[in-house]
Amino acid sequence: MTETHPIAPQRGRFITFEGGEGAGKSTQIKLLADRLNEAGIRAIVTREPGGSPGAEIIRHVVLSGMGKLLGAEAETLLFAAARDDHVHAVIKPALDQGIWVLCDRFSDSTRAYQGQQSNVAPELLTALERVTIGGLKPDLTVILDLPVEVGMARAAARRGTGMPDRFEAEGIAFHQGLRDAFRQIAMDEPQRCVLLDATLSPKAVANNIWRVLRKRLLREAAHA
Ligand code: T5A
């Protein structure tokens, strides 16, 4: 009698979206999820900080500004604890089942916000990445780039009369530094990252993302 082996599903692809405040990440991630699902590819949308029940509790603490009171390193530990739960409870299990994961912010945000802007030592960030994400690197990182004033105006318009959160409340210089940090990440890792103009219409940005994805991931998925 021949033995049958279950065929392991092909691993899903991991795509992260990064950029400053109001860059349009949430908008684009939803458009991409719809497009992938229409193409017959199962994809889930998730976010950081948050994305799992435990991490969502930490999100609330961090974005309320409580983490800032503890100091930059402790605030970084909170982001790391949230990421650890999210990776193990949501991201890895989905990828293992062949589901594509679209994540609104990931470790590049820690590098940019905590590393560049809050001066947390790169050695600490590397050590935390080892624990939380291990070898899990995004297959593609879309970095949405736009002038700081435009992003802040979009975020303010969406917020209406609500209060700005922990990071929205920072000044222009902080956000300009962030923009520079994300542009640097894109330059340092061109094979993983793509920097896209986020001032275009949502539809034009979505088409550019789709073009990159087809070129870098869908062709590769079809031949795997
Ligand atoms: N953080 C996060 C860290 O410091 N370290 C970390 O490790 C991590 C993971 C999360 C905060 O935490 C920090 C970074 C963040 O400050 P959040 O509430 O999740 O905060 O907020 P953000 O990720 O910053 O996202 P935003 O909600 O500010 O913006 P998005 O998702 O980039 O933008 P989106 O799509 O909601 O769009 C904003 C507005 O603009 C419009 C939309 O309709 C919306 O009203 N819009 C456009 N308008 C014109 N043209 C376009 N192309 C548009 N696209 C969207």
Q: State which ligand 1 atom lies nearest to the alpha carbon of 113.
A: 4
Residue of minimum CA distance from atom 26 in ligand 1: 22
92 falls in which pLDDT band (50, 70, 90)? very high
The residues that bridge with 19 in the sheet, in sequence order, are 144
CATH: 3.20.20.70, 3.40.630.30, 3.90.1580.10, 3.40.50.300. Which one for 14-219? 3.40.50.300
Tell me how far apart the alpha carbons of residues 193 and 200 are, in angstroms, rounded to a whole number.
Answer: 19
**Percent of the chain with pLDDT strictly greater than 90:** 85
Residue 220 scores a pLDDT above 90: no
- Ligand 1 in reach of 151 Cβ (< 6 A): no
Residue of minimum CA distance from atom 5 in ligand 1: 110
The residues that bridge with 47 in the sheet, in sequence order, are 104
Residue 99 scores a pLDDT above 90: yes
pLDDT in tens, 180-200: 999 999 999 999 999 999 999
Residue 224 scores a pLDDT above 80: no
Task: Please list, residue by residue across 94-115, b when 16 or more beta carbons sit within 10 angstroms of its beta carbon and e when fewer do.
Answer: bbeeebbbbbbbbbbbbbbbbb
Distance 210 CA to ligand 1 centre (A): 20
pLDDT in tens, 36-80: 999 999 999 999 999 999 999 999 999 999 999 999 999 999 999
Query: In testing the pocket of ligand 1, which one of 167, 178, 209 has its CB within 8 Å of the most ligand atoms?
Result: 167
- Please provide residue 143's backbone torsions phi and psi, each rounded to the nearest 5 degrees: -105, 115
Distance 80 CA to ligand 1 centre (A): 20
Reduced to 3 states (helix: H, G, I; strand: E, B; else coil), residue 101 is strand
**Are 62 and 75 spatial neighbours (Cβ–Cβ below 8 Å)?**
yes
Q: Count of CB atoms within 10 A of residue 54's CB?
A: 16
Distance 103 CA to ligand 1 centre (A): 12
Tell me the pTM.
0.94
- Record the tokens describing residue 107, joined without a space: 């470790």
Tell me how far apart the alpha carbons of residues 90 and 18 are, in angstroms, rounded to a whole number.
Answer: 19
Structural domain boundaries in the chain: 14-219
Give me the mean pLDDT over the 83-107 stretch.
Answer: 98
